[in-house]
Structure formats: structure tokens, C-alpha cells
Structure 1
Amino acid sequence: MLKWLIVILVIVFVTGMFRATLSRHLRLGRLPGDVHFNFRGRAYHFPFTSTLLLSAVAMLLLWSI
């Protein structure tokens, strides 16, 4: 349980510090497989691929600890 907490805190800290730089270079949220559409004047965004990618990175970090 403590490992998960450490991994989550590290990910939140790193993404908070480098959010603008990371999103510009990694294109998170705009990858192929991320769905974005407008319906009745509202924008909907479902980042399926970005979620899978970030989950894989978190799992690798967990395994390395």
C-alpha cells in the first residue's frame, strides 16, 4: 500500500512541475485513440490511450521500487 502511495505522489509531483512542458512534448490527451467530440454545444473528451500509457508508466515505476 505504501508503494502505491509513493508512486502516486511522485507522479502527481512530476506532472505538476512539468505539466506544460510534458503535454507539449508528449501530446498527452491528443494521442490516437483519445476521443474528443462536441454534442449539443458541449465538448466531451475521453483520453483512453493517454490513460493506458500513464497506467503503464505508473506500473513500471511501481515495479522498479
Structure 2
Amino acid sequence: MLKWLVVIVLMVIVTEVFRPGLTRTLRLGHLPGDLHFRVFGRAFHLPFTSTLLLSLVVWVVLRAI
């Protein structure tokens, strides 16, 4: 359980560090199925498609190892 927690924290850190480059080059966060909306003056971003795509890539990489 602790290993998975460490892996998840590291993935979040790596994703946040490389997010500006990924959004410009791979358009992650702006794919069809990623929701962007405003409610009561606050912006919300729900990247459903980007999350599924990244999960699939991680799964393929882990299966290859």
C-alpha cells in the first residue's frame, strides 16, 4: 500500500512539473471529453479523457516491464 502511495505522489509531482509542456505539445487537458465549466464565478476542469489516456499508457508500460 505504501509503495502505491509513493508512486501516486511521484506521478502527481512529475505531471505537475511537465504539465505546461504536455498541454502545449500533446494537448493533454484539452481533448474531447475533458470538461471545462464555470459555476458561481469559479472555473472547474475535469480531464476525464486525459486521465483515461494517461492511465492506459501507464498500464501498457507496467505490463511491458
What RMSD over aligned residues (CA atoms) do the two structures have, in Å? Answer: 2.7
Percent identity, aligned pairs only? 61
Q: Which runs of 5+ in 2 are unaligned?
A: none
Q: TM-score, normalization: structure 2?
A: 0.71
- SS of aligned partner of 2:57: helix
Higher normalized contact order (CA 8 Å, seq sep 6+, divided by chain length): 1
Is 2:63 aligned against 1:50? no
Runs of 5+ in structure 1 lacking a partner? Answer: none
TM-score (norm 1): 0.71
Q: CA deviation at 1:9?
A: 8.3
Q: Where does residue 31 of structure 2 map in the other structure?
A: 31
Distance 2:57 2:49 in 1: 12
